[in-house]
Chain A
């Protein structure tokens, strides 16, 4: 049917809007940059952008179920500290270390999910509390910044491939292909959207609500840990920084919103969140190439965020039963 593409467009409009916003901002950035389109510039931008993009993907999953995960930044920091201990030595040892770090992240996410599903606590308080616990563990692992990481692996992942493609971008595409696309097309992913759209209707339709939430939060933990692992490759060390954890958490929520995912859940895409994260990152750099005070960065990010959120609120103007505004 010829209307298919219209429905596709409607479903993906948030993602396309975020992608378009990124293309515009990035074009301006490259045009103003003194070096312009060059491999080192792209690689640096990718290394910074992909970290937030992956944490934003992690945040997207709980948000789709109309939950939230305030611990993603802390899992990210914990994975970073753990990796600075474990991802060292022979290539085999380093590989085992990577697996251990990812498993730890998935465990953190599973704990979140278990408390939310079986403990029936609200996601926001649960993850606020567990996030602090995860940070405490990170601090125990790395009381002062330091540690090391397998240099060969780090150089390979943070450099550029032959042909000038930043390796980090390939990693990002790999994560999307391995985690997001299967999730989106799996029964669990469908169920997550159904729960976000209407939890009662999903339950009445025979959806396993508890298992779906468990898988969703576990995957969020896994993705956040992937981000933390990559951070270690970028910085060659581990640091238990609560500021960094907090900033990543808040920026991940902002990226999700800019990417067109509704905080009420039910609709959205991790691809949109990736572009949302890249937009946020590029805005910071934009001020740099325009020689503006970096002090302005939070203000600009705030304005962009407000504008993006306002677009989503336009439909509220159509509501004719005012009680629905509060439900």
Chain B
């Protein structure tokens, strides 16, 4: 059958990074087509191109036989392409009905016809199998799972020919997942072309007719569902990466395994997003957090760092129970927790301030007497750490914004090292950083551990987890589902556990 939508040799670069490189893709009416790939494989960019959110640098988009260019999401919507994004596209202050009809509300004499809108919303909600949602309820009052159902109803109200779902089930409660699956099968039978992205392999197996695998922005293979095993599929997703030297891990010595843990967490829960998390990290150990993006790793760090309210469970440092209620308490001498946050530009740095001010900021108390900063002490400490991390800044008085991404990240790390932390939490510290700086950071982490710090490293890069960490806890839906260490700590096991398929199937 002739595909309804074809993408041919589509490329997209962000700065020097290829998000998509001559990728091709096609989907057909009456089929569910699954897109597979690791984090950063280019799937999201691909569907953004289809939805008109991103304009490709090169390549052609052919819809129903004619070449099209979508300069704006509206144009894609008008052409019959409806997209349900991973980040919800709902306006929280507006009602469910307002949201469903936002793009093209029914009008009478130029004004929105609220009764007609209400009927459309009720029909769309019913079609999505979410009759229980009141059309006048503000979206902000709904749970995440219900919001996702509204999102699906919103897409259906546009009467699309092609429906794209990006991780649409990741936020759904189990009962809603079943409803969405039944719905998608019905829509397929009605003749819609459905493009489906999910990291859950069992969902793909249950739902898809065709599968396409992407890796590093390139299209790897397309095949009919069920013709390849999970192991083959996972192998296609991983591919072969260039070997990368990691600092040697110390042999596990018995005396290291004894003694109180530097940090021990028991039964940590928060707000329905973190469930009963338990882990212990000793001095000198680097423990990794694995799993897909957004499974609670970030929240876990924020909970330890005192940012979240209403955290349940127990945290012990060197055997002493502590309650950290703010980052200010977390960095105090008796506690000594440091967090290198995920987004260095917003949470890690004050971009317009100078490199020096950024580095000394978290440790100003150490350099000040009666509240006045002693400039010579500050300059000495900053100078020393800049040499130690070999931060390349032409002038320490320059704004942090002028540095390269790698050096900015080093500044964030330096800021916390000045405070001499006992526990270092790092959230994806090498994302978007050049290879050279990556290696320096890896070596630095090992050095910190050797000097007696307990290091917790969350990374979306599986190779980094394997290369750097002594043990890895795999997160799924806010829980630790599996510990990997030694020979078990390999890419197959990490990917398979993260995707929630049995590790045997991936071998």
**Contacts A10-B138, A187-B105, A187-B107; A205 near B93 (Cβ below 8 A):** no
Which residues of chain A come closer than 8 Å to B85, judged between CB atoms?
Answer: 204
User: Whole-angstrom distance between the alpha carbons of A24 and B154 in the complex?
Assistant: 43
Write the nearest CB–CB distance from B30 to chain A, whole angstroms. 26
**Contact partner, B307, options A182, A207, A323, Cβ 8 Å:** A323
A3 touches B94 (CB 8 A): no
B134 touches A205 (CB 8 A): no
Write the nearest CB–CB distance from B269 to chain A, whole angstroms. 12
A321 touches B308 (CB 8 A): yes
Map CB proximity to A onto B84-105 as digits: 1 under 8 Å, 0 otherwise: 0101111111110011001101
**Contacts A194-B102, A205-B89; A323 near B111 (Cβ below 8 A):** no
User: Whole-angstrom distance between the alpha carbons of A27 and B31 in the complex?
Assistant: 68
Which residues of chain B come closer than 8 Å to A323, judged between CB atoms?
Answer: 302, 307, 347
Which residues of chain A come closer than 8 Å to B95, judged between CB atoms?
Answer: 7, 11
**Contact partner, B309, options A197, A200, A207, A322, Cβ 8 Å:** A322
B93 touches A206 (CB 8 A): no
**Contact partner, A202, options B53, B102, B270, Cβ 8 Å:** B102
Write the nearest CB–CB distance from A9 to chain B, whole angstroms. 11
User: Whole-angstrom distance between the alpha carbons of A186 and B103 in the complex?
Assistant: 12
Which residues between 296 and 330 of chain B lie within 8 Å of chain A, taking CB atoms?
A: 299, 302, 307-310, 326
A320 touches B134 (CB 8 A): no
Which residues between 178 and 233 of chain A lie within 8 Å of chain B, taking CB atoms?
A: 182, 185-187, 190-191, 193-194, 196-198, 200-208
User: Whole-angstrom distance between the alpha carbons of A196 and B103 in the complex?
Assistant: 16
Which residues between 89 and 136 of chain B lie within 8 Å of chain A, taking CB atoms?
A: 89-95, 98-99, 102-103, 105, 107, 110-112, 114, 134, 136
B110 touches A266 (CB 8 A): no
Write the nearest CB–CB distance from A180 to chain B, whole angstroms. 12
Q: Specify the main secondary structure of chain B where it touches its partner.
A: loop
Which residues of chain A come closer than 8 Å to B347, judged between CB atoms?
Answer: 323
**With an 8 A cutoff between CB atoms, is A267 at the interface?**
yes
B105 touches A190 (CB 8 A): yes
A206 touches B137 (CB 8 A): no
Which residues of chain B come closer than 8 Å to A319, judged between CB atoms?
Answer: 309
Name which residue of chain B comes closest to A315, CB basis.
B140
A201 touches B88 (CB 8 A): yes
B111 touches A182 (CB 8 A): yes
B112 touches A320 (CB 8 A): no
How many residue pairs, one in A and one in B, have C-beta atoms under 8 Å apart?
A: 99
Name which residue of chain B comes closest to A8, CB basis.
B136
B112 touches A185 (CB 8 A): yes
Which residues between 299 and 327 of chain A lie within 8 Å of chain B, taking CB atoms?
A: 319-323
Write the nearest CB–CB distance from B203 to chain A, whole angstroms. 24
User: Whole-angstrom distance between the alpha carbons of A320 and B347 in the complex?
Assistant: 18
**With an 8 A cutoff between CB atoms, is B160 at the interface?**
no
A206 touches B134 (CB 8 A): no
**With an 8 A cutoff between CB atoms, is A292 at the interface?**
no
Count residues of chain B with CB under 8 A from any CB of chain A: 40
A266 touches B93 (CB 8 A): yes
Write the nearest CB–CB distance from A190 to chain B, whole angstroms. 6
Which residues of chain B come closer than 8 Å to A293, judged between CB atoms?
Answer: none
User: Whole-angstrom distance between the alpha carbons of A321 and B347 in the complex?
Assistant: 14
Name which residue of chain B comes closest to A265, CB basis.
B93
**Contact partner, A1, options B53, B110, B134, Cβ 8 Å:** B134
> Most chain-A CB neighbours within 10 Å: which of B111, B134, B310?
B111
A204 touches B73 (CB 8 A): yes
Map CB proximity to B onto A275-290 as digits: 1 under 8 Å, 0 otherwise: 0000000000000000
**With an 8 A cutoff between CB atoms, is B227 at the interface?**
no
Which residues of chain B come closer than 8 Å to A202, judged between CB atoms?
Answer: 91, 102
B72 touches A206 (CB 8 A): yes
B136 touches A190 (CB 8 A): no
Which residues of chain A come closer than 8 Å to B110, judged between CB atoms?
Answer: 182, 186
Which residues of chain B come closer than 8 Å to A201, judged between CB atoms?
Answer: 88-91
A320 touches B270 (CB 8 A): yes
A7 touches B102 (CB 8 A): no
Which residues between 1 and 29 of chain A lie within 8 Å of chain B, taking CB atoms?
A: 1, 3-4, 7-8, 10-11
**Contacts A197-B92, A205-B89, A205-B103; A322 near B111 (Cβ below 8 A):** no
**Contacts A206-B77, A319-B309; A198 near B91 (Cβ below 8 A):** yes
* Selected A-B contacts with CB under 8 Å, 5 pairs: A8-B136, A10-B138, A186-B112, A205-B103, A323-B302
> A190-B102, A197-B93, A320-B270 are known contacts; what are 4 more A-B pairs with Cβ within 8 Å?
A11-B95, A207-B103, A266-B91, A321-B307
